Amino acid sequence: MATVRQKGYYHWDGRLAESRFRWWPITRTGIKLAFRKKGFRFLFAASFLPAVGFLTAIYVSERLEDFKFMMRGSDRLIKIDPGFFNTYLTNSSVLFLVIMVIVFGCAGLIADDLKHNSLQIYFARPLRKKDYLLGKTAVVAFFVLVLTFIPGLLLFLFKLVFAGSFRFFLDYPWLVPEIALDSIVLAVFFACYTLLLSASSKNSRYVMILIFTVYLFSYILYVILHSIFRTPYTALVSVLADIQQVSAFIFGQKPPHAVPVFWSFLVLAAVCGLAAFVLKKKVRGVEVIR
């Protein structure tokens, strides 16, 4: 029979574990906290609407005879190939929803810890800086992968189901790894982008605005610069354009802008490098002890 104890302080008779996944509680808690926010669940659910649209397109592509009256004789309107999946993953509406999910779910990941001085109690634990950052990175990566890799994979599987054969898989055996690679690139980039901006301020609302406006205004800046200089290299200033360039390369498609993909990759890598530099400077247990 268990001992009935009075309320008070008792020593814990367990043993503290030395886990290799010390970052996992940070990730799990970060995801839980995001879902506790008002309206976030609705936004998150709504973010799958583009995937539903693309799923419909796959279904229609397999039932072209049934839908011919709608297609007006153009059978090539819906062509399911790597380009279709590239379009899904770099679609401006999909990426816009990814940004919105990040804005409302992840903006405060580091900003709130800076604001509420909690870094010092994190690092008073047997937690390394890389555990902390990995935990926070994984929160953003979770949301990005759930909105890119999971629907991408499901679209692929539904294509096989609707086709009723493995022909599509045999035609494009590298498509699933390409979807995975592109989703990982997106997840890593958006994680670095989000944590960079989140670490730049203690005000999470300011960070929310920053995440949204940097993404949006980089595209607007590209349009303005392009109209002035008429050179495709202006696309490098746009986050969206750089993502589209790199994704097109991964899926073996023609890049949408006449700029070597290497430059776009370099821009995205530079953002990640800047994030690593800023995070190294800002995320310290010691700075908040006065």
Partner 1 sequence: MSIEVRDLRFSYGKVPALAGVTFRLGEGAVGLLGPNGAGKSTLLRILLGFLNPQGGEGTVLGYDIRREQPAIRRSVGYMPEDDCFVAGMDAVTFTSYFGELSGMPSQEAMKRAHEVLFYVGLEESRYRLLDTYSAGMKQRLKMAQALVHDPKLLFLDEPTSNLDPQGRTDMLELIRDIASHKDIQVLISSHILADIETLCSSVLILNRGAVAAQGRIDDLRATNLSLYELRVKGGEEAFRGELEAVGCRVDETEDRLIKVYMPADMSRMEIFRAASRAGAQVRYFIKSRTSLEDLFAELVGVD
Least distance from partner 1 to the Cβ atom of residue 124, Å: 4
Residues in the chain: 290
Residue closer to partner 1 (CB basis): 33 or 216: 33
Residue closer to partner 1 (CB basis): 24 or 219: 24
Least distance from partner 1 to the Cβ atom of residue 201, Å: 14
Q: How much is the CA Rg of the chain, to the nearest whole Å? A: 23
Least distance from partner 1 to the Cβ atom of residue 112, Å: 4
Residue 29 Cα distances to 41, 139, 206, 208, angstroms: 16, 9, 22, 20
Residue closer to partner 1 (CB basis): 72 or 290: 290
Least distance from partner 1 to the Cβ atom of residue 191, Å: 20
Query: Tokens 């229609």 label which residue?
Result: 60
Residue closer to partner 1 (CB basis): 40 or 158: 40
Q: Which of 195, 190, 37, 46 is nearest to 104 (CA)?
A: 37
Residue 39: half-sphere exposure toward Cβ, Cα within 13 Å: 4
Least distance from partner 1 to the Cβ atom of residue 11, Å: 5
Q: Which residues are CB-neighbours of 207 under 8 A, at least 6 positions away?
A: 107, 108, 111, 197, 198, 200, 201
Least distance from partner 1 to the Cβ atom of residue 7, Å: 5
Residue closer to partner 1 (CB basis): 15 or 72: 15
Residue 61 Cα distances to 45, 52, 171, 246, 281, angstroms: 25, 14, 16, 27, 51
Residue type, 138: A
Residue closer to partner 1 (CB basis): 7 or 254: 7
Dist CA 26 CA 28 (whole Å):
6
Contact 196, 278 (CB under 8 A): yes
Residue closer to partner 1 (CB basis): 121 or 161: 121
**Structure token pair of residue 18:** 């030395």
Least distance from partner 1 to the Cβ atom of residue 283, Å: 12
Rule CB under 8 A: which residues touch partner 1? 7-12, 14, 16-19, 22, 25-26, 29, 33, 36-37, 108, 112-113, 115-118, 120-128, 204, 284-286, 288-290
